[in-house]
Every structure is written in structure tokens, then in C-alpha cells.
Structure 1
Amino acid sequence: MPEPKVLLLVDGSSYLYRAFHAMPDLRAVPGDPTSPATGAIRGMINMMQKLRKDVRADYAACVFDAPGKTFRDDLYPDYKATRSPMPPDLRSQIDAIHEVVRLMGWKVLSVPGVEADDVIGTLSCVATEQGVHTVISSGDKDLSQLVNDHVVVIDTMNDRRRDAAGVEAEFGVPPRLMVDYQTLVGDTVDNVPGVDKVGPKTAVKLLTEYGSLDNLVANADKVKGAVGENLRKALDWIPQGRALVTIRKDCDLKDHIPGIPDLADIVIGGQQVEELKAFYDRYGFKGLVKQLETHDVPPELLEEHRSKKRVGAGPGPGGLFEEPDLSGLSQATNLQYDTIFTWEEFEPWLARIEAAELVALDTETDSLDEMLATIVGLSFSTEPGIACYIPLTHDYQGAPDQLPRDEVLARLKPWLENGEKKKLGQHVKYDRHVFANHGIEVQGYLHDTMLQSYVLEVHKPHGLASLAERHLGRAGIDYETIAGKGAHQIRFNQVPIEKAAEYSCEDSDQTLDVHLALWPKLERDSKLRFIYDLEMRSSEALYRVERNGVLIDAASLAQQSHELGNRMMALEQEAHDLAGQPFNLGSPKQIGEILFGKLGLPVKRKTASGAPSTDEEVLVELAEDYPLPAKLLEHRSLSKLKGTYTDKLAQMAHPRTGRVHTHYAQAVAVTGRLSSNDPNLQNIPVRTVEGRRVREAFIAPPGHFIASADYSQIELRIMAHISEDEALQRAFRENIDVHRATAAEVFGVALEEVSSEQRRYAKVINFGLIYGMSAFGLARNLGIESAAAKSYIQRYFERYPGVKTYMDETRLSAKARGYVETVFGRRLYLPEINSPNGPRRGGAERQAINAPMQGTAADLIKLSMVKVQDVLDQQQRKTKMIMQVHDELVFEVPGDEVEWVRTEIPRLMAGVAELRVPLLAEIGVGPNWEKAH
């Protein structure tokens, strides 16, 4: 399925104020206060350049408020009456800002009588109807009401992303309730009154209790105290207040975008270079003129260099928007980068590599798929500033003769496969695969800068460019600079050797430099050093797992796809019969018309565009009482299963091995967990019969079996260890069903008298509290009253006081340190733990409680993976580890090793650590993955 197109909308009015206040007092003639101000123009250029670099978009517009009144002024004459007038120095720059943004390739919109927010709301609604995703760049919280599954708001200045989860975390209500929330709270900036004395906390409480503003108004007489009195006083105002804060989504934009609803008129364009050059020259932006004239330093690299120089958030020398000094870029002269074309040049470098204490190396390849990639060139760095590039298979027209790849690799193979020769890389697992594609098993990888960063600063980016900028103050050559971008991007073998050499040498050189900056920090901290060693050893084990791959039964998948297709066709007919007419089951608009228009089902929620929502949560709610939504849900789940797995898995088999080789991303999840992609093995649904059948297609070859080993109730065991709660520990030590034990404690009954329903409740409570579930969430999950849920939680903490103490102390510790730790010392940072925003702080506090358990579980499965692989190697077993999914290890086992696996794998997994409660690993064996459970 093609990736959806993206519309990028910039809140230009928000941007220009930020640019104006962030900049020093720049003038066209520096130092002359009578000269025209240019700071906001310069700041706007920087911000727009960075945004274009960071967000891929097919369509784009920068939207500004137009001068004059809007419909809101007619509704309420005091609208924005308390706002200060625009500073004259900013007003004087508006026309120039519009001009330069247009010259940079953006559609500029300023619609009389309509605010920028309303234009943005209308365009986001149009885009959604066209199947286009929308990214809105703004710091304005009001735009949060537009967020839905297809619309996200980003605040680049504060590094904030407001998707549905982000809005709820920040404000305490989902996007669908943001208009209701704003109506209650009011808007002091725009001089829109809310309900007197109702602030954010009270608004969240009221909306949580009553579900919506309409329901709150309908029950206003039931709201007690001063809040109820003030609410009743505001009843006449509330409709007007809501109209003022609601962003319109139906503005007439045809005079400004003639082709609308077709978005072709706002396709993102290229820079008008000559016109820009004249503009920059007119306003004295010499650095930008030079950039356009020489093309030596692209805008992306310039922006990276500028952020590298940032000292603080404020303006002035060294600040974010300082005119850049290009002297520190990779064009600096203190570097010795050699390009090797002959054996006479190769020999001295080989001797240097063999004699070096530590060598950084990097592969340049023709593919991002590590199982298919072949080497185009190699680079090595033996000391800071010194590197070489060996081009091997550049084959563009006019490419110079190069050394033969096979002979070069043969000469390097003894050094590469010598474990005593210490090596360093950035994401070495990928390079190991690439060398293995050429028959070389590299040994001696001692360090990986990506993993060093992952352990030291898990909450930051781990790409080499980010690391070099952050730790060295060095900006590097962007790949798109040498290879182009998008559909026009060329493969590395087509990149001119002189550019490829500088790029690759810089990679190796920077990798070595980053290592020298990060390694001392790891060496000083024994706990972080332990985690880093674990990550390095896990990288080795994961390389083996990825290399092994898993055999797929294509015939079984084809049969499943056929059956799913038939069932989907039947569901479609059943849905048509229930609707009384045919309709497109994939069209939210048509579904809405049938459910709410024709059948008159109750509207549970509305989308940002005002249409009744047909998302999964709504359909689940409706399916409890109506048959058609249930059919739609089943059709959706089968469609996803078919499109993601049964249709695609067999096609993903590697042409050489006939197996599927997933990729495990090691440095992504902040908890230390792995993520799997191409294919994603972690998202196969296992709660449905159809989902479990997919696992039947993961098979063993003849004479072999699949074995699946996983930890039992691992996070609850970790909670028992960390909290030191005696009652919880006793349940595990005495091998009592922990959910039954919890039910006995919470419901005050004997263990043998616990009913299945009470055990189910206890299971939800056990896992819910681990994930920071509130009484409201527990009540909703169990379908009970909030008071009952509060009572259950209170009794739980009375019976398990150690858990309550752990939660309280963890919150305090996290606030003091800014991070929490796993049992083994992995640091899990919590940037929002001291946020002044209550919901964001609350979310971080819940993370603080859960992260040590998730992180410790991740550490344990990695320890198991490493230990098991070591034993398999030491005993020269033929059993292969082929998958790691959550807390589970999956093996391909020859028949004569099945009994050994049944006995030894659980023993090894249970023995990797000694906690205050016993670890328990369980194993199953079968002809396929599903039967092994």
C-alpha cells in the first residue's frame, strides 16, 4: 500500500512572532537603528528551512492572518481587545516575510475576514477527505482541536508533538473534547471568557465525569458548590464562547486555491534561486547569498551547523539564529582523507590498519536491506582526522579504474576475521551482515557508537550526524547532498568517487571521534558499562538471529489469504444486507452516512471536521448493541491481517535463503525493548483464531521442530522484586497463582473460593497498576462504577503496601534525578517528570513506575538471548535461535536435540539473574510457531 501523501501547514502568524522575539535587533545596515529591521525575516528563513528539512511533504502552505476584522469580531466586539498592537518593527517586515516564503517554494495564504487557524482547519479537513495526512506546525494550543488519526500538530520550538495521545497527555482530554475544554477554560490571549473559576484541572474533571460539554450543560443543576453556581451563571454565554473558540473547517478558499478540493495548487515547490539571491542581497544576508552562489553548503547542512553552534535558547551571539560561521564545516583543511586506487596506495594503509590499536570502519553499499546489500566501497580511520576510502564498484560513466573488490576483500579478510584486532563502527550489526554477504564473518567489533549513545542518552537521536553535532560540534555531509533525494536519488555506486570518498572518510573519522568522546563516560560508570556490554553482546546474538531467519509455509499463507478473502466478501454482503444497500466498507464517509444517517444509530463522537466518528473505539462501543458495527470491525481486522501478513509474508522470503529475515532495531525503544520490522513479528494478533493461524505458517524444515520459550508473568515478578512487597513475593515463592492470590486479598475471600470473575478482575488490577491505570481507567476496563474501582485499588494497596511505597518513592526519586533505572542499571529518562503541565507530568509519573519493569524485562530477555547463544556455540549445537518477540525466544530444533532444548533452555533463562522471587521460563515444542505455544 503506498505511503499516504502529506500536507504541511505552517501557522505563519505564530512563526513570525516567534522569529521576531527570538532574534537580536538585526538591521539591513548593521548598527544603524534607523535602518529597516530584518531580524524576523532572517529568523523566518531559518525556521522554514529547518521545517522543510525535517518534514517530508507533498503539499505545503504557510498561512498568515489577514489584516482587518473577522467573523469573530462580529460575534463578540471585545474579541482580542486586550491584545497589544503588533510592534512597528515587526509590521514593517510582514510583506518581506511573505515574499521570501513564497520564493522558498511555499504557497502563501492570507484570507481576508478569516483567521489563519480557520484556513488551516479547512485545509486539514479537505486533505483528510482526499486521503492526505496533515502536519500542522504551530505553537498554538488551539489547533489541538484539529488533531485526529490523520492530523498531527508539531511545535518545533519546544520539540512537542501533539497527536491524539500527546493532546490527551498535555491537556487531560482527547482532541474531540478540546473545543469543550477551551469553552470552559476560556482564552485570555484572545479575551474570550470561560466559566468563572473553572481552570484546566476543573475542566478536565467535569468533562471526565460528564463526557462532554453538552452533557455537562444538560446536568448543570447537578453540579455542586461554587463550580455549579458559576456554570449555571454561564449557561447563556457558553454557546457564544464555543462559537468563538471553535476553528472553522468550511471556509471558502476558491479565490486563493482555485482547484480546491484538489490540492495540486499547493504542491510544494523548489526555491527560486535567482530571485532569492536578489532578496538576500537586498537585506544584507551575505551568508545566504554565498550559499546560493557556491552550492558548497546546502541549506540542510547550514541548518545543522547553526544548531551546532547554539549555546542557549536566547538570541544574540552564539544563539540559535546567529549568522553562521562556515569555518567549522567538513570543508576544513586539517583532515587527511586518502582515496585508494592502486595496490601501491593500498599496502601502506593495510599496514597502518593492522598496526592500529583500534580502527573505525564503515561500509558503503548499494542497498539498505542488509541481507541483500553488497559493498561499493570501504573506509577506515585509525586516528582522529586521518581516514581512507577504497572505492570498489562505482560504475557511473567515466568512473576511474578501481581495485577489484574480491581481491581487496581477500586481502582484508584475515584482519577482519581476527578477533584480536579491535574494531569500531556505527550500527555494526548492519556492517556485519554486509561483510557476511561476501563470505566474511567479522570478529573483534569492540564498540558501536550507536549503542554507546543508546545507553548514555536513550532519549536523544543516535544517528552519526546527531552524535557528531552533539558531542564534537562537527556538522557532516548529508547523504542527500551527494546522492540527491526522493525519486531522483541515485545509488551509492553512481556517486562520483571524489564525493563518495569525502563522505565515507568523514563517517569513519567522526565515528572514531564520537567514540573517544563517549567511551570515557561509560568507563566511569560500572552500571552503564554493564548495560553497554549487554547491548554489544545482544547485537552479536541478534545478528545471528537475523541471519538464521525463519522458514515460511507459502502454501498455508495462500490458503489463509483465500479463506480470509472469502470471509471478507461474505462480511461485505452481510453488511450490505444489514444496511439495506451496498456501500464501501473502507469509506468512513459512507459508513457514517449508513450508520448515523440511514440507520439512525447514536453518534458517540465527532471528527475534527464535525462528521460523526467511525473509528475503532466508536464501532466497538456501537457493536455492543448493533450488528452492523460488529461486521465492520470484523471486516477491518481481517483486511489488516490479510494485507499485512497473509498476502505479504511469503513475498518477503529472501531469494537466496528462502527464509524471512526480520530486522531488529536495537536502539529505538527507550525501555530497552527491541522492535521488529520487515516483517513486524511483534504485531501479529494472537487473540483471534485468524491471527493465531498466521503463526502456523512459521514452520520448521523436515526433521526439525519449532520451540518457543518465554518468561512467565515477568513484569509482576519484577514488581515483586523491586517493591520488596512480602505478600507479592510469597505468592511467587510458593508458586501460587498470583492473580488468584490478588483476588483473595482484594475481595477478602479464601484462595480456594476465588471465582473466575474475581480472578479476571484481579488480573486487570495487577497489570493495570503496573501501567499506572487510574480508578477511572480501571472502572472503564471492568465496566464498573468509579467508586468500586477506587475501593479495589485502595484494598490492593492495603494488602500490598510495598507496591504503594515503591510507587510513591519512585515518583520522588524520578523527580529528583530526572530518570529511573532498571534492576541492572539501565537509565530511562523522563523529560516531563517535572513539567508544570499536570497531565504531562502525570504521564511521566506513570512511566516512572512502569519503565523499570519493562526495562528490566528487556534486560532479562537480552541476558537470556546472549546466554543461550553462548551455550549453543560452546556445545556446538545445531539448534538455531530464529526469533525474539517480547519476552519470548523462538528456536529451530533438530529432532535429536528436542529433549535437550526442553530441559536446558528454560533452565538457562531462569538462571540469568537472581531476583528476590524465582524466575520461571516455560517452553513448548511443535511443528510450527503456533503449535509450540
Structure 2
Amino acid sequence: MTKKTLLLVDGSSYLYRAFHAMPDLRAVPGDPTSPATGAIRGMINMMTSLRREQPADFAACIFDAPGKTFRDDWYPDYKAHRSPMPDDLRSQIEPIHEVVRALGWPVLVVPGVEADDVIGTLAVVAAAQGIEVIVSSGDKDLSQLVDEHITIIDTMNGKRRDVAGVTAEFGVPPSLMVDYQTLVGDTVDNVPGVAKVGPKTAAKWLMEYGSLDRLLERAHEIKGVAGENLRNALDWLPQGRRLVTIRTDCDLAAHIAGLPALDAMAFTEQQADALRAFYEKYGFKGLVRTLEAAAVVDAAVLASPTPKPRARPGNEPGLFDDPEDIIADEEARVAQATSLRYDTILTWEQLAPWLARLDAAELVAVDTETTSLNEVVAEIVGVSFSVEPGEAAYVPLAHDYPDAPAQLPRDEVLARLKPWLENPSRKKLGQHIKYDRHVFANHGIEVQGYAHDTMLQSYVLEVHKPHGLASLAERHLGRSGVNYEDLCGKGASQIPFSQVDIGKASHYACEDSDQTLDVHNTLWPQLQADAKLRFIYELEIASSEALYRIERNGVLIDAPILAKQSGELGARILQLEAEAHELAGQPFNLGSPKQIGEIFFTKLGLPVVKKTATGAPSTDEEVLEKLAEDYPLPAKILEHRGLSKLKGTYTDKLAQLANPRTGRVHTHYAQAVAVTGRLSSNDPNLQNIPIRTAEGRRVREAFVAPAGRVIASADYSQIELRIMAHISGDPALLHAFKEGLDVHRATAAEVFGVAVDQVSSEQRRYAKVINFGLIYGMSAFGLARNLGIDNTAAKNYIARYFERYPGVKHYMDETRLSAKSKGYVETVFGRRLYLPEINSPNGPRRGGAERAAINAPMQGTAADLIKLSMVEVQRVLDAERRGTLMIMQVHDELVFEVPEAEIEWVRMEIPRIMAGVADLQVPLLAEVGFGANWDQAH
């Protein structure tokens, strides 16, 4: 006889996870005053998935009740340091209870009793009846409940805590977890343990002595500081153990009818009418469509008791499932309702009609399955297409597991696809099209006609949200799909996609293309309806093409120069280490905060600048920089850290990242990361090479041009200040730029009340800090610290600045108000920059959002301008068939590899093109330099 199962959900754990996973969904998208719905949406996803994936006879979702519990009576400081629940989460709790019930889950909220204790009591009651208990929670404290009948699962990371799992994770069996938690303490709940006793020591003691009680009996034997701390805690530990122990004997009879029988905790059917009304109320359009689709299937089943068998999505053609199995499977039912038709193409006869469909379609979603995430080396394993919603095909080309079915030859299939792929009049769609463009190029295909990218559509419409396909499908369609890790596994045990069963791979790949087309049909109308956002989207699509060219070109690296620099840096690092040891009067590890702290504050008596969260004196970067102003040892350590990072990140590794055949480094530019629109460079990061030190600048000497060519660097001059002048319309700033004045000298003249030709170098330096500082929202305190002056003087400088530049003050005030009203700010060109914390009750978060509201339009406009330049420069290079290659984009700078015969053309035309991409109230100025390497070109 099969054992029955009880599924208990730690609802309080779930709702916090849901809140942080989807932090700023609103009932009315983009309206910060609209009710928050992110946690609600996340809970629906999580509870629906859990019910589908974890069958059970009985179930309950348990939430903490508001107010105090019995532990607060035992210990008034219990959870005293825990931050109050965010208001946006608090407002979602009642709706969450409502929708979880409508989804068919029994909901329990017991006043005065924590959710953990309710879970503990129910688990023990059920286990005593021979019922298997599954607890779904991310809370490790529940591990003390685990035994042969009770298991904890953490669906967020796939972790399973059975007896073996708990023992492996914590080093003690579940029977010792209360003792373990007593020793370690619980900082979240403000329950002290034994000072400086961590998980390893606690586990070691318990496994050696057998239990906490036996350990305490022999506490006098424990040596060292740990033993002393243990003895000091003897009076507290009984109370600590009482607080961390989950109760399993709570009186729940008033809340669950019929206990100890669990009949009242049986799953119920979903309340379709209640769910539809709820989803409509909170703007979950995709979930409404899913409900309607499921209703279509239910109606069809009722009307036809013996429905005709049909192919189940993901299976090869000709393989059928029993209709009752399809009906029982919720995911397949929804798929059937939306008429999914996924084909696996294994023969030329199957491919031929799809080639015709591709050629006739107005728009085709294309996706590749590959051997690597590194687009420069990735090879195609298979290709999928979708031409209509719910219709897709997968062509497996390189699955190589044992007994894999025969597949069409990759080179021949790609040769047949190449004319269509390279035809610019045949419009294509993808999710992250730049990656697929590289993959096809690795096989000799230069794809033309990419018209849309769902990742970039999301990036333009909702920059502050995740842009992965799974997130987009969940958020906009209410659709979930197969996870890559479900197919391939995780970590060291992950298999390559080529070894995934073709039937499963086909469903996964078809689903990707189908969902991409489905998401596009939802997002594209929103972009079409807003001319400014459509302009930004078209800019991103064009930028993607230009970035593909930049990444493909790569930049030549001089490996011997880097090796020489690494050797010199290594020698200097050793010298600094010796000098630091001499200053300290003893050897120590320059990378150990603990040893540095002991030398600084115990031995040398240096002043404590600030403390860590544990109360120890801090030795972080900020502290070292402050102490370095007066003491030589911190300065040596700072220099040592900087050079070690430079060596480890760049001079040692750049050459290793170069293509061994060409000697070129091919960075990856991530478009959909920075909320301001700026690009992110990775593997290697070419934007973070430190240039404030001579050693850092020298790294750029290794970026070289081949024989017969030179490096050119073109960048905008004072671009963000020019944008500030344009946006604010301040007459004095506009005048300075229109007349070609030194804007920092002009600002100094205004702030210090002197003639422009009388401004000293020190006054100009102050003015430069003020100009850039105010752009970034710098406070008087920040300005005072930066300039080394007192706060009063800094406040006076800022006040005088705003007196002279009232347009800037007006812009800042109006921008803050507008941001609070709309929830976002805009660049000059219409890019939206969302500020989720702009109305936060948390002062520091709100202040940060207000500073971002001032700066983001300038950073974002600068990002738009460099993208406009990049696109236009590439267009001109192509139109004139120039040999000049664009090889890097770094902030406001474009870097080129230029044939010697084109130097004069680049000198004259590139600055002209860059200055002409936009018509602002002030002139744009771009300057270009040349050299044998990147450093010389500056």
C-alpha cells in the first residue's frame, strides 16, 4: 500500500523570497503609486509549480501571524534587530492568503505561534500516523525536524534535506541540530550562541562529545578562547536552546478540524471564477489567458469522453500519449489548449516544408542550441524556428549520446538555410540576437535581417526587471517552461546539450522559439505605441549589430609586453610586502583583514575610523585611504592591493584570453545590464582597466595595431556637463559651452566671484569637483570630504553655485518631483530609467534614488550618444568600404584600428560624425588621437 503524503509550505519563507525575486511589479505597470504585486505574482508561480511538481494527499501553506509570540514573552529581545517588514510587502499579505486559498491550498495562520512551530507540530502529528511529510522551505532551522518520515526541500536551489542531506550540510545529524543551533546562535532572530563559535567548531564538539549536555558537563576540558567563551555562556545556553527549539506540541485543534486526522487539509480544486477575478484585479493578463486555455481543454474533455489522441509537445512525430495522461498533466493540458505543435526534424522530407514556411513567413523566431556560452567558440548542436504562435520545429544536428537517432548532416542543413539566413528581406527575431549572430558566423553564415530582439524589447520597456526569456514568459504570458538545468544538470555533473535526449531537447528548443515569438507579440505593440521608446529600441537593435562587428574584430594583444609588465609588477609587489613588514615591525599577511587590524590598532595604535557589523575595527578600502593620508603603512598596503589586482586581472590574464590563432582578445559587450543604457564589458572587462595610476595606464600599451596600421581613440569632451547644460537650459552654462570656454574655469569665476583670467589652478580644481560632484548628486558632506574642507565651506560653495546657475537648481528640483510622480526619469532621447526606491520610506534608499534621478538622465543620454555614434560610424565605414575597424567601445570612447592610408580620413571624419549625431543646445565635441598602441592614442 502506497504511503500518503503531507506537503507543508513555509508560507512566510516563500513570500519573502517572492518579494525579493520580483521586487517592483505593480497593478498598474510603471505607476509607483499603484499597489505592489510582485510578491503576489511570485507566490502564484511558486505555489502552482510546487503543486504540480510535488504530489500530495494533504497540504497546508502556513504563514506567521502578526503580533508577538510566546518566545517574545520568554526573551524580550527576540528578533529585536530584525528590520520591519517593508510596507510594499505588508500590503500584499492578505491578497496572498486569498489567492493561495483560491489555488486550492489550505491556509493556516495561528495567532501567537510562529509558522515554524505550526509546521513542526503538523509534521510530528502526521509522521506518527506513518504519513510521509515534505516541508518546502528555505529555512535551515527546520532541519531539526528531519527524520526518516520528514524531509525538507528547498525548491529555489534544488536542495533536499533528508537525514543524509542534513548531516552532509551541517556536519551533524538532524537529532543534534537543536544543539548545533544553540551553540552557533541565530543572528536573524537575535538569539546569541557561544561567542566566536561557528559551524565547524559546533559540529566538531558535538560529534566528539555526542550532545550539548555532555559537552557542557565537560566544558572545563575545552581549551583556548573557545573553551573560555563556552564556559562564559553556560548560564545562557539553556535559554538559547529553548528559543531555537521548534515546538511540536502546539494546540491546533481550534484551527484544523478533526486533528489528528488530516482530512481538513486535503487539496481542493482551484476556484476558477475567484482566480479569474483576482488576476484581473491585479493585472495578471497572462494568468487570465492560462485559465481560459485550461477551461477550453476541460470543456473539450467533457464534450468528448474519448478524444482523439494527439502528439504531446516535445515528442517526436508519430509518438502519442493516452488522452487521460494528457488531461492529468497540467502543463500538457495548457499546451494542448493553446494548440502547440512542435516538430522534431530528422529527415529531408520533414525539413522541406519548413524551409518553405520560413521563406514565406513575415517574421520567424530563430534560436540556436550550442556547445558553449562563449559565443566566439560556440558550435551549433541544433536550430529551432517558430513562425506562428504555438508552432515550432527543432532540427537536431549534433546530438552525440549513445543510441541517438540519425540526424541530418549539420553542414548540409546550414548550407540550405544560409540563403534564407543571409537574406536581409527575410525578417528574423531572437532572444539576445548578438549571441546567435556570432554562432552562425562561426559556421560561415553572416545573418542579415534581424528585425527584433525580445531581450532588448524588455530592456527598453522595463529596464529594472530581468530580461531572460523565462522571466519574460512568466511575467507577460503566464507561461513557464523547461529549465536548462532540468535537462543538463548543475555544476560538475552538468552534461553538454549535445548529450540531451533529442525528444526532450526538441521540446525545450521549440519552446524557446515559440515563447520568443509569443513575448514579441506582447511587447512589440507597446513599443509601437510610444515613439520615443521605439526610437530607443531601434537604436538598441542597430547597436547590437555594431557591437557584433566590434566583438568579431577583437583587438590585438602584445603578449611579450604583458609578460614584461607582470614581471615588473611582481617585483614591485614583493618590495612593497617587505617594506610593509618593516613598517609593521613583523611579517604579516597583507591580504588578511584580521592581521592588518591587529597590527594597526593593537600594535601601532592607529585611530579607528569605523567598525564592522560585528564591532571590530574596519580595514576596508575607505579606511585604508583615510589612514594613508597620515600613515605610511596603510599607503603601502593600498598600493600592494592595487598592483596585485592589476597583475592578477590584466597583465597575467589578458594574453591567456586571446585567441591563440589570431592573438586577438574578443570581449563581450552586454547590452541589457546597466539601467542607464551603458554597456558592460566582460571576459575581459576592458572598461575597468585602472588609468589613474601609471602602472594601470601602461596596460593599454599592450593593445596594439598590426603592421601597417595604427590605433585611434575618439572620445567626447566633457559630455555629461554638456548634457547638463542642454537639459537644464541654464544660460550661464550654455554660454560657456557655446563660446568654447574652459567650463571649469568659467564655473570657478562664477563661484569665487573673480574674472576668468584671474582663476587660480586651485580654484579651477575646486570648480571641477563641484561641477562633476553635483551631477552625481554629491552632498555638502561629500564635497567637503572630497576637497578636504569643512561642511560649512562646502555648503557655501554649493549655495553660490546654484545662485550663479539657477537653471541647474531648477532642473534638479523639478526632476526629483517628476521622478516621484512617474517612478522614472528620461534621457534626452526618451530612454526610461526607472527608480523603484524613489518613494521608499527608507531614507537612505530614497536619497540614493533621488541622486540617481539627477544623474541618470545625463549618464543615460551619454550612453545614447555613444551608441548613436557607434552606429553611424559603422554605417559610414561600410558605405565607403573603408579598411578602418572599430575594435572597442569604452564609456564615451570609440577605439579603432586604422590603415595608415586612412589616418587623415579618420582624423577629419570621425570627430565630425560623432559631433553630428544629435542637435543639442550646446555643440558636441569629439577629439581623436593616434598611436602604435591604445595608450599612445590618448
1:44–1:376 distance in 2 versus 1, CA, 3 Å: closer
1:624 equivalent in alignment to 2:629: yes
Amino acid at match of 1:739: H
Match of 1:193 in 2: none
Question: Is the Cα contact below 8 Å between 2:865 and 2:917 reproduced in 1?
Answer: yes
- 1:566-645 correspondence runs (5 A): 566-645=571-650
1:126–1:312 distance in 2 versus 1, CA, 3 Å: farther
TM-score scaled by structure 1?
A: 0.72
The one of 749, 760, 767 equivalent to 1:762 is: 767
1:466–1:75 distance in 2 versus 1, CA, 3 Å: closer
Match of 2:112 in 1: 87
Q: What do the CA deviations read for 1:464-486 (whole angstroms, capped 9, x no partner)?
A: 11111111111111111111112
1:69–1:524 distance in 2 versus 1, CA, 3 Å: closer
Amino acid at match of 1:904: E
Match of 2:245 in 1: none
The one of 537, 546, 560 equivalent to 2:542 is: 537
Question: Is the Cα contact below 8 Å between 2:676 and 2:833 reproduced in 1?
Answer: yes
The one of 844, 847, 850 equivalent to 1:842 is: 847
Q: Distance in 2 between matches of 1:126 and 1:544?
A: 55
Match of 1:879 in 2: 884
Amino acid at match of 2:634: P
Determine helix, strand or coil for the equivalent of 2:573: helix
1:434 equivalent in alignment to 2:433: no
Deviation at 1:457, TM superposition (A): 1.0
1:798 equivalent in alignment to 2:803: yes
Match of 1:786 in 2: 791
Q: Distance in 1 between matches of 2:402 and 2:666?
A: 35
Q: Distance in 2 between matches of 1:254 and 1:372?
A: 60
Q: Distance in 1 between matches of 2:191 and 2:332?
A: 38
Question: Is the Cα contact below 8 Å between 1:308 and 1:470 reproduced in 2?
Answer: no
Deviation at 1:119, TM superposition (A): 6.8
1:281–1:310 distance in 2 versus 1, CA, 3 Å: farther
Match of 1:370 in 2: 375
1:920 equivalent in alignment to 2:925: yes
Q: Distance in 1 between matches of 2:261 and 2:645?
A: 51
Q: Distance in 1 between matches of 2:277 and 2:335?
A: 16
Deviation at 1:762, TM superposition (A): 0.4
The one of 720, 731, 750 equivalent to 1:745 is: 750
Q: What do the CA deviations read for 1:641-680 (whole angstroms, capped 9, x no partner)?
A: 0111011000001234321000000011111110100001
Q: What do the CA deviations read for 1:575-627 (whole angstroms, capped 9, x no partner)?
A: 11111111111111111111112112122222222322111111111111111
1:280–1:834 distance in 2 versus 1, CA, 3 Å: farther
The one of 307, 330, 338 equivalent to 1:327 is: 330
Deviation at 1:87, TM superposition (A): 3.1
Determine helix, strand or coil for the equivalent of 2:690: coil
Q: Distance in 1 between matches of 2:276 and 2:914?
A: 46
Amino acid at match of 1:732: F
Match of 2:156 in 1: none
Q: Give the share of equivalent positions with the same residue, in percent.
A: 68
Deviation at 1:45, TM superposition (A): 13
Stretch deviating more after TM superposition (827-836 or 714-723): 827-836
Match of 1:263 in 2: none
- 1:88-487 correspondence runs (5 A): 91-96=117-122, 100=135, 101=137, 102=143, 103=151, 104=153, 105-106=160-161, 111=181, 117=188, 284=265, 327-328=330-331, 332-333=335-336, 334-487=339-492
Q: Distance in 1 between matches of 2:348 and 2:637?
A: 67
Determine helix, strand or coil for the equivalent of 1:721: helix
Match of 2:686 in 1: 681
Question: Is the Cα contact below 8 Å between 2:182 and 2:193 reproduced in 1?
Answer: no
Match of 2:710 in 1: 705
Amino acid at match of 1:803: V
Deviation at 1:787, TM superposition (A): 0.9
Q: Distance in 2 between matches of 1:757 and 1:795?
A: 17
1:442–1:607 distance in 2 versus 1, CA, 3 Å: same
1:517 equivalent in alignment to 2:560: no
Amino acid at match of 2:778: M
Match of 2:905 in 1: 900
How big is the alpha-carbon RMSD for the aligned residues of Structure 1 and Structure 2? 4.0
Deviation at 1:69, TM superposition (A): 7.9
Q: Distance in 2 between matches of 1:391 and 1:662?
A: 29
Question: Is the Cα contact below 8 Å between 1:880 and 1:891 reproduced in 2?
Answer: yes
Q: Distance in 1 between matches of 2:519 and 2:715?
A: 37
Determine helix, strand or coil for the equivalent of 1:402: coil
Question: Is the Cα contact below 8 Å between 2:369 and 2:509 reproduced in 1?
Answer: yes
Q: What do the CA deviations read for 1:100-154 (whole angstroms, capped 9, x no partner)?
A: 3532235586556966536788799877999xxxxxxxxxxxxxxxxxxxxxxxx
Question: Is the Cα contact below 8 Å between 2:69 and 2:114 reproduced in 1?
Answer: no
Deviation at 1:67, TM superposition (A): 6.8
Amino acid at match of 2:703: F
Q: Distance in 2 between matches of 1:860 and 1:932?
A: 22
1:351–1:879 distance in 2 versus 1, CA, 3 Å: same
1:645–1:120 distance in 2 versus 1, CA, 3 Å: farther
Deviation at 1:311, TM superposition (A): 6.8
1:68–1:345 distance in 2 versus 1, CA, 3 Å: closer
Q: Distance in 1 between matches of 2:711 and 2:648?
A: 25
Deviation at 1:327, TM superposition (A): 3.0
1:350–1:810 distance in 2 versus 1, CA, 3 Å: same
1:658 equivalent in alignment to 2:663: yes
Q: Distance in 2 between matches of 1:310 and 1:743?
A: 58
Q: What do the CA deviations read for 1:441-490 (whole angstroms, capped 9, x no partner)?
A: 00000111111111111111111111111111111111111111121111
Q: Distance in 2 between matches of 1:455 and 1:788?
A: 42
Deviation at 1:94, TM superposition (A): 3.9
1:929–1:20 distance in 2 versus 1, CA, 3 Å: closer
Question: Is the Cα contact below 8 Å between 2:79 and 2:188 reproduced in 1?
Answer: no
Deviation at 1:282, TM superposition (A): 8.7
Q: Distance in 1 between matches of 2:873 and 2:705?
A: 19
Deviation at 1:76, TM superposition (A): 15
Match of 1:911 in 2: 916
Match of 1:508 in 2: 513
Question: Is the Cα contact below 8 Å between 1:329 and 1:476 reproduced in 2?
Answer: no
1:384–1:43 distance in 2 versus 1, CA, 3 Å: closer
1:813–1:407 distance in 2 versus 1, CA, 3 Å: same
Structure 1 gaps of 5+ residues are: 1-11, 22-41, 54-62, 131-247, 257-278, 289-305
Match of 1:208 in 2: none
TM-score scaled by structure 2?
A: 0.72
Question: Is the Cα contact below 8 Å between 2:359 and 2:420 reproduced in 1?
Answer: yes
Q: Distance in 2 between matches of 1:19 and 1:650?
A: 42
Q: Distance in 2 between matches of 1:774 and 1:833?
A: 17
Match of 2:500 in 1: 495
- 1:704-723 correspondence runs (5 A): 704-723=709-728
Question: Is the Cα contact below 8 Å between 1:329 and 1:475 reproduced in 2?
Answer: no
Amino acid at match of 2:381: V
1:13–1:375 distance in 2 versus 1, CA, 3 Å: closer
Q: Distance in 1 between matches of 2:752 and 2:724?
A: 21
Determine helix, strand or coil for the equivalent of 2:748: helix
Question: Is the Cα contact below 8 Å between 2:430 and 2:452 reproduced in 1?
Answer: yes
Q: What do the CA deviations read for 1:741-795 (whole angstroms, capped 9, x no partner)?
A: 0000000011011111111110010011111111111111111111111111111
1:825 equivalent in alignment to 2:896: no
1:805–1:392 distance in 2 versus 1, CA, 3 Å: same
Determine helix, strand or coil for the equivalent of 1:332: helix
Q: What do the CA deviations read for 1:309-365 (whole angstroms, capped 9, x no partner)?
A: 9777899xx99xx9x996356872221100000111111111111111111110000
Q: Distance in 2 between matches of 1:792 and 1:582?
A: 46
Question: Is the Cα contact below 8 Å between 2:546 and 2:870 reproduced in 1?
Answer: yes
1:561 equivalent in alignment to 2:566: yes
Deviation at 1:19, TM superposition (A): 11
